[in-house]
Structure 1
């Protein structure tokens, strides 16, 4: 693959969140409407089938329908899009990568095989196979904190060597994360958690975010991201209040046992920009929508610049 043919991946990428009906079917009409809102918000890109899209709870037919819808709408609008081909089964994941590549996305997001922790050599072997399946499409390695093996920056450097991986989505693990990322990940575009983006930019590490703040407000997240190029001090001040909101009002639900997908859908419901709802597919618990009004008032009070963008 010619890695110089496209600019480096960067910016504020907004996630698809699946609207789930009472019978646990995916509401494609509401999903299409949410894509339209994200396009109108002018985000840097839209990605499918991250954790918030519940990739682990889709049939292959549902996966194909979601990606085809996203590709059709984004191509018509000239919007960059990325497909998450993630699947805990490596064989199914490689098949998803092949089908995703045929839709010509900007990049394809993958995870490492997730039943048994992989070694660095096993991780690289899988990423080489994924690179072949992706043909000339770039890969993004998604290595979340709940992965069976959370790779340190030095491990990622080894695992991605010679592969089509050009970017990675990471958690901020350890006090020396930024130092280690600067040392080992200069060849990759590093995406940090959305509510840490301004700090990641200040540290010279973050190229962007697959953003939980875009779950809350795609326009607000884009406004904040754009600000970082010209007024980083103000962006950092906003980040302080964003992180206060997340810590005080969202993380308590994680501490109560709710999944990250539940948190992201809660954020979207607080933002109210699309009819996504808080329902998750079984067996994972959904946060009661009755929590939303009070949380929306808290967000309006703490981060009106994000909420009212």
Structure 2
């Protein structure tokens, strides 16, 4: 696949989630079926090995097998794809970047080294090395709120200037001042924000989402994105109702200490579009299965736009 430019990284991207079986094995047939469902859902692209894909809980052979499956199926379908090549340990991350780039994805996603915080020079040094390792495959920086090193708009501006292969970022978003600062600092980068905040984010300058709403309903997330361009008022109301759903069914799970991967698998099970299940790999805690049916009933009642026939 050709390298993606920043202006080609837009819209709703779906993620691969690991179906876990038995004593923690990946259900490879279930993973392939999930990928087939994503390929026909209308999403603008697919990625693997994000937080929701439990990149931190796969070994290197599993990493390569997931990456190869994604590359093969997306290349055959002509759908853009990205491979997350992240790891908290820098040498392992560089190895993942090298092997991911060899598969020729549209971009490689990376996190910053995550055991100790980095200063600005170290951030530039790491991304420069990551770009050199990836060759002509561009980079997307994933900088979530729990990252030890938080990248400001001003540091992003330096990165955009010093590391030209950096074409996009995935961040938590912010208020009007944050969006204004990002627009001024990095006008050439693709800015992706959380899926459940995409309507308000798009209105303030974001370009798309590696989407937790696509985790719940890929077709529904695409339909909602189309509403953002044709009927912004209705799209904004959908976002308000998503917030209501999250307050009822996601916030209580967060308050129990469940991780984002657990919440995304829970959303996928609520959506029921693929056989994924709520189970995470050891030692992580999973969402309770008995919470799925009440959440599913509320999701269909509150958010019919996300469940097209």
TM-score tier after normalising by the smaller chain length = over 0.9
Which range moved further: 257-266 or 218-227?
218-227
Equivalent residues in 2 for 1:143-222, closer than 5 Å: 143-163=143-163, 164-173=165-174, 176-203=177-204, 205-222=205-222
Q: 1:172: Cα distance to partner?
A: 2.5
Q: 1:83: Cα distance to partner?
A: 0.4
Q: 1:97: Cα distance to partner?
A: 0.8
Between the two proteins, the alignment pairs up a number of residues equal to: 307
Where does residue 28 of structure 2 map in the other structure?
Answer: 28
Alignment partner of 1:9 is 2:2: no
CA–CA distance in 1 between the matches of 2:88 and 2:278?
24
Where does residue 42 of structure 1 map in the other structure?
Answer: 42
Equivalent residues in 2 for 1:93-108, closer than 5 Å: 93-108=93-108
CA–CA distance in 2 between the matches of 1:130 and 1:60?
18
CA–CA distance in 1 between the matches of 2:3 and 2:81?
18
CA–CA distance in 1 between the matches of 2:158 and 2:102?
28
What TM-score comes out, normalization by structure 2 length? 0.95
CA–CA distance in 2 between the matches of 1:5 and 1:67?
21
Distance change >3 Å, CA 101–CA 68, structure 1 → 2: same
Where does residue 257 of structure 1 map in the other structure?
Answer: 257
CA–CA distance in 2 between the matches of 1:82 and 1:306?
24
Backbone CA RMSD of aligned residues: 1.7
Structure 2 residue runs of 5 or longer lacking an equivalent are: none
Structure 1 residue runs of 5 or longer lacking an equivalent are: none
| SS of residue paired to 2:207 | strand
| SS of residue paired to 1:155 | helix
| SS of residue paired to 1:41 | coil
CA–CA distance in 2 between the matches of 1:272 and 1:202?
30
**Alpha carbons 1:124, 1:159 under 8 Å: kept:** yes
Q: 1:38: Cα distance to partner?
A: 0.3
| SS of residue paired to 1:287 | coil
| SS of residue paired to 1:248 | helix
**Alpha carbons 1:110, 1:139 under 8 Å: kept:** yes
Where does residue 63 of structure 2 map in the other structure?
Answer: 63
What TM-score comes out, normalization by structure 1 length? 0.95
